[in-house]
Amino acid sequence: MPTLIYQIFSASALISLGVYHLTSTIRNFLKSPQSFSARPHHPLPSSSARLKHLHLYILLLCLLIAFAHQILISSDFDPLLKGHTPVHRFTSLQSAALLFLFVIVSVALLLSESTSLLPLPPDLFFALGSALFFLQYSVSSSAASVQTSDLQAKCDSVSAQISAVVAFLCLILAFQPRMFIADAGLAGAICLQGLWVLQTGLSLYVEVFIPEGCHWLLEMVRGVEGSTKCDLEESRLRAVAILNLLFVVHVTFVVLIVMVTYAVMARTIGIRRLGSYEALPTTASDSNHIQMKAFTGTQA
């Protein structure tokens, strides 16, 4: 149960971050497409300096909670991994070290945005983000390779691939910050990572969502619960196929979110632009008609 709660917490944080970045990116692009430039941080529209960066404080809090969680579970006894407890301890510490690097970069971003102590350019933060997400790809790939659970290994492998996509998009934005598609894709990929973290928790730790023919691992001597494993090869292949299908469903859902968000915001910002002004004439006859009305009014 604690693992499932942590999965839900991580998923909520990632989805919220992705949606906020998506809406902010689309709003900035629609307001001024010619001068658009990707930003790693979008301040909240508030007169208070602290409220402007509220979501950065929340992000730091979430990262610190995740860091503490990885440190705590590194001392747990886990005989169900390949290599048993020592491997579990080192993989957990590796994840904790990576989260600490994310904390450092987030603090640097907060100082850069709120003070003049660390005036770092946005492209540097995108480059650092690319490096950190590439490390996340490496950590997730390593975690997948030591799992005795085929389902856990599959989930970690997909998570690693999403992290690689995020790293690639951050690298593009470090060199091409005016590329709106890459910035919107980055927000969508973060949302996708959050949805996949949630799906991982449901598929591995909730009985209703565990594929048929699979069950929780249990070390019978000490009663240590692990992940989920399928006994038969047919059940394993079926479970992997279900996860592949669910991944496609999540990708489709994220694409719909991006499209609907863009459509709604384009309509809203477009209405604000036009206001109650009369539309400009589109033909020569309309232009002549307006000129004749102005001339008649002047004579009168």
Nearest to 113 by CA among 187, 25, 41: 41
For residues 287 and 28, which has the higher predicted lDDT (pLDDT)?
28
The confidence band for 119, taking pLDDT boundaries of 50, 70 and 90, is confident
The tokens for 256 are 């719909």
Is residue 245 assigned to a domain?
Answer: yes
Summarised one tens digit per residue, pLDDT across range 170-195 is 999 999 999 999 999 999 999 999 99
Nearest to 60 by CA among 103, 100, 117: 103
Is residue 60 assigned to a domain?
Answer: yes
Is residue 30 assigned to a domain?
Answer: yes
d(CA 150, CA 239): 9
Task: Give yes or no for a contact between 265 and 30, defined as CB atoms under 8 angstroms apart.
Answer: yes
Is residue 278 assigned to a domain?
Answer: no
Is residue 292 assigned to a domain?
Answer: no
Residue 135 reports pLDDT greater than 90: yes
Summarised one tens digit per residue, pLDDT across range 238-247 is 989 999 999 9
- When mean pLDDT is compared over 45-54, 139-148, 181-190, the highest value belongs to 181-190
pLDDT of residue 151: 83
- What whole-number percentage of the chain has pLDDT above 70? 80
Is residue 294 assigned to a domain?
Answer: no
**What's the rounded mean pLDDT across residues 152-164?**
92
Alpha helices by DSSP H, listed for the chain, are 2-31, 49-52, 54-73, 84-114, 122-145, 150-175, 180-205, 233-274, 284-299
**Domain, as residue range, for 162:** 1-76+86-273
* Domain count of the fold of the chain: 1
> b/e string for 62-79 if b means 16 or more Cβ within 10 A?
bbeebbebbbebbeeebe
Residue 101 reports pLDDT greater than 60: yes
pTM, two decimal places: 0.83
pLDDT of residue 215: 76
Average pLDDT score, the chain: 82
d(CA 27, CA 161): 29
For residues 272 and 136, which has the higher predicted lDDT (pLDDT)?
136
Nearest to 21 by CA among 213, 173, 153, 233: 173
Residue 120 reports pLDDT greater than 80: yes
pLDDT of residue 86: 66
**Taking CA 101 as the corner, what is the angle to CA 64 and CA 157, rounded to the nearest 5 degrees?**
90
For residues 75 and 202, which has the higher predicted lDDT (pLDDT)?
202
pLDDT of residue 78: 56
Residue 46 reports pLDDT greater than 80: no
Summarised one tens digit per residue, pLDDT across range 219-276 is 433 434 456 778 788 888 898 999 999 999 999 999 999 999 999 999 888 644 444 4
**What's the rounded mean pLDDT across residues 48-58?**
83
Inter-CA distances, 235 with 76, 102, 150, 162, 163, Å: 30, 38, 11, 25, 28
Is residue 298 assigned to a domain?
Answer: no
pLDDT of residue 217: 63
Packing angle between helix 2-31 and helix 54-73, nearest 10 degrees? 150
Q: Which of 61-70, 108-117, 259-268 has the lowest mean pLDDT?
A: 108-117
**What's the rounded mean pLDDT across residues 84-89?**
64
Residue 159 reports pLDDT greater than 70: yes
Task: Give yes or no for a contact between 103 and 60, defined as CB atoms under 8 angstroms apart.
Answer: yes
- What whole-number percentage of the chain has pLDDT above 90? 48
Is residue 285 assigned to a domain?
Answer: no
